[in-house]
Structure 1
Amino acid sequence: MNKIDTPKRRLFLQKVLYGVGYASIGTIFWSAYLSKSHAKSLLLRPPGALLEKDFITTCIRCGMCVNACPFDVLQLATISKNTPIGTPYFTPRENACRLCPDIPCTTACPTDALDLKLLTKNNLLSINNAKMGLATVNTQSCLAYLGLQCTMCIRACPLADVAIVLKNERNPRTGMHAFLTPVVNPNHCTGCGSCEMACPTNIASIKVFPLFISQSDIGSHYIVGWKKEDEERLKKSSTDITMSRTKRNEKSALDNVTELSHLILIDMLSKTTVSRA
């Protein structure tokens, strides 16, 4: 009986080992994908999206926002995108957000991953309060900055002369003509991407980036004295300074300067002596 069952038993154990091996390989690849997807993506989220970390954990990948968009702007991320599968995003160069006044995508969200409260200021709900990203102009390739006449971005902007303004500057090359260059106002840019979609250069010279890329953070340790909030922070900050004692800072500043002067003088005298020899 045992001799007859042995081949079947070996075959069974082989299949079990194969299954364990495939499962291990799958786990490795899936872990690698998850690690990659946690990296910050450059994809833009719909209006009212929470901060990326919170958005990823709150979004249930239902696709209701995508279905609600009347212009097919939103898409669901696939495995080829550097972002969790099934989360909504849009590519402004291909199809910019139209800033629908009724905000159907955000309204459709069942979990508040797209939160209407983030589009509300002074108790007034408006799509113009959206902060999907911030447009950034590449002055090296923008036609207007090169001295050619182009106003495509400001003409496409839903908040023209507010989110994007034209700056009139003298052209130093000709001395006769003016530069009309686009300047983005970060306080009013919604990140809709209409400017990027309209840009006529082969690679858009104005591009919308997520806020964590386009808006720098100087850090809390710098004080901008003329800003009211920084003045208050400065008043509340401690004036106590802890300085470790070293041989150098045990001396006064004058002593250190005198010592340095002596060293420089000795060095100069030694060089003079060598050159004479």
Structure 2
Amino acid sequence: MKDSDKKLNSSRRRFLRDATRTAVGVGSLATFLGIQSKQSNAQDTGVPIRPPGALKAGDFESACLRCGLCVQACPYDTLKLATLLSKSAAGTPYFTARDIPCEMCEDIPCVVACPSGALDHSLTNIDDARMGTAVLIDHETCLNYQGLRCDVCYRVCPLIDKAITLEYVRNNRTGYHAKMIPVVHSDSCTGCGKCEEGCVLDVAAIKVVPTELAKGALGEFYQLGWEGDTTTPVPSLDEMRGKK
């Protein structure tokens, strides 16, 4: 082989090698930017929420067959299947309340369609569902907190005056008017997300999050006497000091 042919072949190999590296680099960059974009959008659109009747975290992922039957059964296209780029386990169902909330179907078709029990078939009343808990996260942008009349999250709640109520407080800025503050009651909130979807702000001030993130725990040493008779006696000071 002539020296000129060797140089030509070497140049071709170098060109192909460099072109391949460039393509891989561009592909990796595009993938990275796509992931970043999805994560950014997820922050704006809220937290992925499981369907009604979902078992607790860990048990649900183990029981779910990733069959997608619950997604097919949803008449409102609320449910989606998680992808590899999703925050939820790939192949499992979820919904994003800001996009399409749960419409609280009385016959709960997604639960009926589940073949594995990952969605608990004992759930027969949609009002008993606990998909998450709504939290009014941003008091600084909520219109009601500014003393304006919005009330949209309250008005669209399927369990109005139970899951969300309005609490009247004095408007100290004007000294004359009242603010009507939306208050979420976790014992009645289903986590359907209609309040989050209905929020008129560009980014919702109220969001549905998993209940374990929304709520704290009182602890066994605190007793609320006004809630009824206490079953655990309160120790005396001497008992607390170790004296009999």
TM exceeding 0.5: yes
1:103-153, CA deviations, whole angstroms, 9 ceiling, x for partnerless residues? 000111001100032x3xxxxx31000100010012222110111111111
RCO (CA 8 Å, sep 6+): is it higher in 1 or 2? 2
User: How far apart, CA to CA, are the structure 1 residues paired with 2:228 and 2:113?
Assistant: 37
Is 1:84 aligned with 2:89? yes
In structure 1, which of residues 88, 94, 113 is the aligned counterpart of residue 118 of structure 2?
A: 113
Deviation at 1:227, TM superposition (A): 6.9
**Which residue identity is paired with 1:148?**
L
Larger deviation, residues 149-158 vs 69-78: 149-158
Q: Quick one: structure 1 residues 62 and 149, their matched pair in 2 at CA, closer, same or farther if it must change by over 3 Å?
A: same
Contact 1:48/1:115 (8 A) holds in 2? yes
Is 1:133 aligned with 2:138? no
Deviation at 1:156, TM superposition (A): 1.2
Larger deviation, residues 199-208 vs 168-177: 168-177
In structure 1, which of residues 38, 43, 46 is the aligned counterpart of residue 48 of structure 2?
A: 43
User: How far apart, CA to CA, are the structure 1 residues paired with 2:228 and 2:175?
Assistant: 43
Q: Percent identity?
A: 45
Structure 1 runs, 4 residues or longer, greater than 6 Å off: 227-230, 239-243
Is 1:176 aligned with 2:181? no
1:179-226, CA deviations, whole angstroms, 9 ceiling, x for partnerless residues? 111111111110000000010111100100101100112344x23252
Q: What root-mean-square deviation, in Å, do the aligned CA atoms of Structure 1 and Structure 2 show?
A: 2.4
SS in 2 for 1:165: strand
SS in 2 for 1:135: strand
Contact 2:144/2:180 (8 A) holds in 1? yes
Report the equivalent of 1:52. Answer: 57
User: How far apart, CA to CA, are the structure 1 residues paired with 2:151 and 2:72?
Assistant: 33
**Which residue identity is paired with 1:127?**
I
Q: Select the structure of larger CA radius of gyration.
A: 1
User: How far apart, CA to CA, are the structure 1 residues paired with 2:173 and 2:180?
Assistant: 14
Is 1:148 aligned with 2:153? no
Q: Which structure has greater helix proportion?
A: 1
SS in 1 for 2:217: coil
1:154-175, CA deviations, whole angstroms, 9 ceiling, x for partnerless residues? 1211111111111122212112
SS in 2 for 1:86: coil
Contact 1:223/1:234 (8 A) holds in 2? no
User: How far apart, CA to CA, are the structure 2 residues paired with 1:233 and 1:81?
Assistant: 45
Is 1:93 aligned with 2:98? yes
1:48-98, CA deviations, whole angstroms, 9 ceiling, x for partnerless residues? 000011000000100000000000000000011122110000000000000
User: How far apart, CA to CA, are the structure 2 residues paired with 1:68 and 1:94?
Assistant: 18
Larger deviation, residues 58-67 vs 155-164: 155-164
Report the equivalent of 2:72. Answer: 67
SS in 2 for 1:232: coil
Q: How many residues align?
A: 194
Contact 2:88/2:94 (8 A) holds in 1? no
**Which residue identity is paired with 2:151?**
T
Q: How do 1:185-264 and structure 2 match up within 5 A?
A: 185-220=185-220, 222-226=221-225, 231-234=230-233
Deviation at 1:233, TM superposition (A): 3.9
**Which residue identity is paired with 2:49?**
L
**Which residue identity is paired with 1:226?**
G
SS in 2 for 1:106: helix
Consecutive unaligned residues of structure 2, counting only runs of 5 or more, are 1-46
Deviation at 1:228, TM superposition (A): 6.8
Deviation at 1:235, TM superposition (A): 7.3
User: How far apart, CA to CA, are the structure 1 residues paired with 2:205 and 2:156?
Assistant: 14
